[in-house]
Copies of this chain bind each other. A is one copy, B any other.
Amino acid sequence: MLAGMYNMDRLYEAAGQRGPLCIGLDTAPDYLPPAERRRFPSDAEAVLAFNREIVCAAADVAACFKVQIAYYEAMGRAGLDCYAKTLSFIRRRGSLVIADIKRGDIADTAAQYARAHFEGDFEADFVTLSPYMGMDSVEPWLSWADSRGKGAFVLMRTSNGGMRDFEYLELKEGSAPAERRRLYHAVGDRLAGLALRRRGKSGYGAFGAVVGCTEREEAAEIRKTYGSLFFLIPGYGAQGGAAEDAALLLRDGNGGVVNASRSILKAWTAAPGPPKEMKLNRAAGAARETVLAMGEAIRRAVSRAAAEDYPA
């Protein structure tokens, strides 16, 4: 980008100022306090109201938001209306938003998807992409980085069990016996190539990668090998990942954002008092407290990781 900044640079700044936590708005209607959910004429409207409360309560203590579109698609047209309004509410209030859409298609179809998610009703600052079909499913999105600073996180090495089915398969090409080269390395190498050509002032590429990892050595290897890639790190909280795991994929507490969703959205269930008296704004307050606690846990984990790497 010749003038201005990539969104990835803005995200780097936000993570530096407010910590690397990303709030995931995977807002299933049954994550809401039941009495509050029933106050609304539709689930989609209830979810929108809760999302707005959380954005108001916690935007100042999180790097960004991530909205998982599946939860909105599941509510049909009304859900996508809620999705559009959630994105625009986040962006109008000055926060960055990642559309977690994991789209992956080629040529004209990819260009249509890019239009869908980088302008108009569903405009986001970043998207997530799936690389299975090849780099011609990623490259059509790049012109939006050049023209409007838009960013993407491409699936690379995820933390789900099924990751071993394909991402983790060892490749034949150029692998010495001592070196395990896996599918995700091939993806990462191609993304690093893109990052070199579109590197912002943060030092990170305009497009990054989705990386979740719980093995210490592997996480350290990934962070070291792909120094130009900013990571979207899923799985903190309800999915079982811990601050320690996330810290290994960060660099000085930045270089990635760490997503947590359900544990934030459902933080209210651990608050005192009967659930039927729980209001949306109090639920959002509980979400804020959880975000703060998670941010603090990540900061401590980053300090510990640094101390281990560089003993006094």
Contacts and interface: CB of A to CB of B under 8 A. Distances in A.
A272 interface: no
Interface stretch (A47-55, A89-97, A110-118, A225-233): A110-118
Contacts of A115: 74
Interface string A145-180: 000000000010010111111110111110100000
Given A103-B102, A171-B172, A164 B134 contact: yes
A163 B102 contact: no
Contacts of A175: 172
Contacts of A203: none
A186 B122 CA distance: 35
B134 A132 contact: no
B81 A77 contact: yes
Interface residues of A, number: 59
A31 to B, nearest CB: 11
A131 B134 contact: no
A65 to B, nearest CB: 16
A167 B171 CA distance: 11
Contact of A70 (B109, B120, B130, B136): B109
A14 B176 CA distance: 51
A133 interface: yes
Interface in A47-92: 68, 70-71, 73-77, 79-81, 84
Most buried by B among A136, A166, A169: A166
B116 A137 contact: no
Contact of A160 (B131, B136, B172): B136
Given A76-B122, A161-B136, A183 B166 contact: yes
Nearest to A163: B134
A283 B105 CA distance: 28
A267 interface: no
B162 A136 contact: yes
A243 interface: no
A28 interface: yes
Given A122-B73, A169-B183, A130 B104 contact: yes
Most buried by B among A68, A73, A190: A73
A102 B129 CA distance: 11
A117 B79 CA distance: 13
A9 interface: no
Nearest to A180: B172
A221 interface: no
A121 interface: yes
Contacts of A186: 165-166, 169
19 contacts: A70-B110, A71-B109, A76-B84, A76-B116, A104-B104, A104-B130, A106-B158, A106-B160, A131-B165, A132-B132, A132-B166, A132-B167, A133-B162, A133-B167, A136-B160, A165-B186, A169-B173, A170-B171, A170-B173
